[in-house]
């Protein structure tokens, strides 16, 4: 009798844990970065990766919501919460041990960009150290530049948003910016800036290029498997590719 009671109790505990896991609200989070993810004119989350996140929710059957947050807060939520999935987290060697990467979402490329009127003629990143370079605080680009020897005490200027980045460059307060080249047109259109004034000064071929769905190590394994499987199904069915093409994002 005692054995049957314990056995029944274990079954109920297993069911409760399973139901609790399945009912957990997943928070897909991202920063304001069109065309990947942004707040549209109606005040709603929108963009290519937001549309993929909605498709993932439908495919997996998981309860989820999508939030657009400032990058610093999004980073904090990713690091500290066990129900958070970042829609686009650059996969780098330094991050592979600290996060669960659930699948590739899209690709980027990174370059140092300056104004055409400034004839810099860069040959490599070392050559760029004689100039002021700006990027967004908390991005891997900050880590990349620091690893190459740049510092805020000398030649590195960090900002909180892409709008600040472009304003620095166009106002002549920095010489170069390090940014994702795929987002430039939409960012400049949103800010009313003329793209004809820009010039690619140096392409960074060793900069990581894969943006992934990512969660921290406390994110439940069973949910990670469901989300990864759902993403695979979207890609196999062709639905993922249609969304990527619709938003003109590199695959």
pLDDT bracket for residue 77 (50, 70, 90): very high
pLDDT bracket for residue 145 (50, 70, 90): very high
Residue among 181, 203, 198, 180 at smallest CA distance from 125: 203
Structural domain count, the chain: 2
CA triplet 95, 99, 104: central angle to 5 degrees? 85
User: In this structure, what CATH number is given to the domain that contains residue 194?
Assistant: 3.40.190.10
Retrieve residue 218's tokens: 């406390």
CA dihedral 197, 202, 206, 207 (to 10 degrees): -20
Q: Is residue 226 part of a domain?
A: yes
- Domain membership of residue 181 as a residue range: 110-203
User: Within this chain, do residues 96 and 176 fall inside the same structural domain, yes or no?
Assistant: no
Residue pLDDT, tens place only, 24-72: 899 999 999 889 999 999 999 999 999 999 999 999 999 999 999 998 8
The answer to whether residues 18 and 12 touch, using CB atoms and an 8 Å cutoff, is: no
Other Cβ atoms closer than 10 A to 240: 22
Q: Residue 124 burial (CB < 10 Å; 0-12/13-18/19+)? A: exposed
């Amino acid at each position: 009798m005692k054995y049957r009671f314990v056995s029944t109790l274990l079954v109920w505990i297993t069911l409760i844990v399973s139901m609790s896991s399945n009912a957990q609200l997943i928070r897909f989070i991202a920063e304001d970065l069109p065309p990947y993810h942004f707040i549209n004119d109606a005040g709603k989350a929108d963009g290519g990766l937001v549309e993929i996140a909605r498709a993932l929710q439908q495919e997996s059957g998981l309860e989820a919501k999508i939030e657009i947050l400032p990058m610093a807060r999004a980073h904090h939520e990713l690091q500290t919460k066990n129900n958070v999935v970042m829609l686009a987290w650059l996969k780098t060697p330094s991050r592979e041990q600290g996060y669960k990467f659930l699948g590739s979402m899209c690709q980027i490329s990174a370059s140092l960009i300056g104004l055409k009127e400034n004839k810099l003629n860069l040959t490599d990143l070392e050559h760029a150290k004689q100039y002021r370079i700006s990027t967004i605080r908390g991005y891997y680009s900050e880590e990349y530049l620091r690893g190459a020897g740049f510092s805020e005490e000398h030649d590195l200027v960090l900002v909180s948003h892409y709008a600040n980045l472009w304003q620095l460059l166009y106002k002549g307060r920095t010489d170069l910016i390090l940014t994702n080249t795929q987002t430039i047109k939409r960012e400049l259109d949103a800010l009313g800036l003329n793209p004809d004034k820009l010039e690619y000064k140096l392409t960074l071929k060793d900069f990581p290029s894969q943006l992934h769905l990512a969660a921290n190590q406390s994110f439940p394994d069973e949910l990670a498997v469901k989300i990864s499987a759902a993403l695979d199904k979207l890609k196999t069915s062709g639905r993922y590719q249609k969304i990527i093409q619709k938003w003109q994002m590199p695959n």
